[in-house]
């Protein structure tokens, strides 16, 4: 009798263990147990705010729609501005989940506020002029003409700093009629005829080919802009933010960037 009782208790203990272990392995929240994916294989559902450099405006709007379609329940809200403005927002504690800048210097300066960053794309500069290049601008040297109305981004802005480096390297003295807070503002001045020429990213000029011409700057005179992406440590949706940042390096996201004229990381 005693032996039978002992055997029954041992069997019950084994059965209990078999039931408890799988439940424990599942975790209390399916979103957390699967890394950056939930049980359906999609990113965790969340409303994400992404701070992104102005030059990413068009491509991110398109890519963002594809990401939302691929991950039902996730909504992306983009806030576009010059990288220096985005950095200021992060430092001031603006509620956001991820950040993509147009240079590594700005991202590196926020090391205590971000996760590890990954470069997702690169870009180059061009000279933007009015359609059909009415002032016949051919190269960087032409921008030194005092009769030419040239607009640049402010030196605090990545594209402004890149422009300054390129001009200094060639020992070209340009006196801009204005210095703008982001690359899209530079493009707008040229597009509206308020400036004869400006230095912008290749991808920005490509967004309005019917309104501006893009004059190529030779590679040996040019600068390469790198675009790092990272999650923000203050994010309340860290898993979902991490999933989006990782997605930016996938073939699907990279195709959107290549189609928009961005170079491989």
Residue pLDDT, tens place only, 124-150: 999 999 999 999 999 999 999 999 999
- Specify the pLDDT at position 243: 97
% of the chain exceeding 90 in pLDDT:
83
CB-based contact 186:128 (threshold 8 Å): yes
**pLDDT band with cut points at 50, 70 and 90 for residue 12:** very low
Please report, rounded to a whole number, the percentage of residues in the chain having pLDDT higher than 70.
84
Q: Is the pLDDT of residue 44 over 90?
A: no
185-221 pLDDT, tens per residue? 999 999 999 999 999 999 999 999 999 999 999 999 9
- 40: number of CA atoms within 13 Å, CB side? 8
Of the candidate CATH numbers 3.40.50.150, 3.40.190.10, 3.30.499.10, 2.60.40.2470, the domain formed by 124-224 belongs to 3.40.190.10
Q: Are 157 and 84 in contact (CB under 8 A)?
A: yes
pLDDT at 13 exceeding the cut of 60 = no
Domain ranges of the chain: 41-122+226-259, 124-224
* pLDDT at 66 (0 to 100): 97
In degrees and rounded to multiples of 5, residue 19 shows phi and psi of -80, -40
CB-hemisphere CA count at 13 Å for 156?
11
Q: Is the pLDDT of residue 21 over 50?
A: no
Rounded CA gap, 106 and 129, in Å? 28
**Count of residues making up the chain:** 265
Distance, C-alpha 148 to centroid of its chain? 33
The answer to whether residue 152 scores a pLDDT higher than 50 is yes
Sign of CA dihedral 125, 129, 133, 136: negative
Query: Quick one: three-class SS letters along the chain?
Result: CHHHHHHHHHHHHHHHHHHHHHHHHHCCCHHHHCCCCCCCCCCCCCEEEEEEEHHHHHHHHHHHHHHHHHCCCCEEEEEEECHHHHHHHHHCCCCCCEEECCCHHHHHCCCCCECCCEEEEEEEEEEEEECCCCCCCCCHHHHHCCCCCEEEECCCCHHHHHHHHHHHHCCCCCCCCEEECCHHHHHHHHHCCCCCEEEEEHHHHCCCCCCEEEEECCHHHCCEEEEEEEEECCCCCHHHHHHHHHHCCCHHHHHHHHHCCCECC
Angle between helices 251-259 and 57-70 (to 10 degrees): 150
Q: Is the pTM of this model over 0.75?
A: yes
| The pLDDT value given to residue 205 | 97
Give the pLDDT band (50/70/90) at residue 1: very low
| Mean pLDDT estimate for the chain | 88
Indicate if 124-224 has the same CATH topology as 41-122+226-259.
yes
Q: Residue 226: is its pLDDT beyond 60?
A: yes
CATH homologous superfamily of domain 41-122+226-259? Periplasmic binding protein-like II (3.40.190.10)
**Which of 10-14, 101-105, 118-122, 170-174 has the lowest average pLDDT?**
10-14
Higher pLDDT, 1 or 96: 96
Nearest by Cα to 96 from 229, 252, 258? 229
């Amino acid at each position: 009798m005693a032996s039978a009782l002992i055997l029954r208790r041992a069997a019950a203990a084994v059965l209990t263990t078999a039931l408890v272990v799988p439940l424990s392995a599942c975790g209390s929240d399916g979103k957390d147990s699967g890394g950056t994916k939930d049980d359906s294989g999609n990113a965790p559902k969340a409303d994400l705010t992404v701070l992104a450099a102005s030059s990413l405006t068009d491509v991110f709007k398109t890519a963002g729609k594809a990401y939302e379609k691929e991950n039902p329940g996730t909504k992306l809200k983009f806030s576009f501005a010059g990288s220096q403005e985005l950095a200021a927002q992060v430092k001031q504690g603006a509620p956001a989940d991820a950040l993509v800048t147009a240079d590594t210097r700005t991202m590196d300066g926020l090391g205590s506020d971000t996760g590890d960053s990954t470069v997702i794309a690169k870009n180059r500069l061009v000279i933007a002029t009015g359609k059909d290049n009415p002032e016949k601008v051919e190269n960087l040297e032409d921008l030194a003409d005092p009769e030419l109305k040239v607009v640049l981004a402010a030196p605090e802005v990545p594209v402004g700093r890149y422009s300054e480096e390129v001009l200094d390297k060639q020992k070209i003295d340009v006196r801009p009629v204005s210095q703008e807070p982001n690359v899209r503002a530079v493009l707008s001045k040229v597009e509206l005829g308020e400036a004869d020429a400006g230095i912008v990213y290749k991808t920005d000029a490509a967004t309005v080919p019917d309104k501006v011409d893009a004059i190529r700057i030779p590679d040996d005179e040019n600068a390469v802009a790198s675009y790092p992406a990272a999650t923000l440590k203050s994010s309340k949706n860290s898993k979902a933010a991490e999933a989006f940042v990782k997605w930016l390096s996938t073939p699907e996201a990279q195709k959107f960037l290549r189609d928009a004229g961005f170079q491989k990381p």
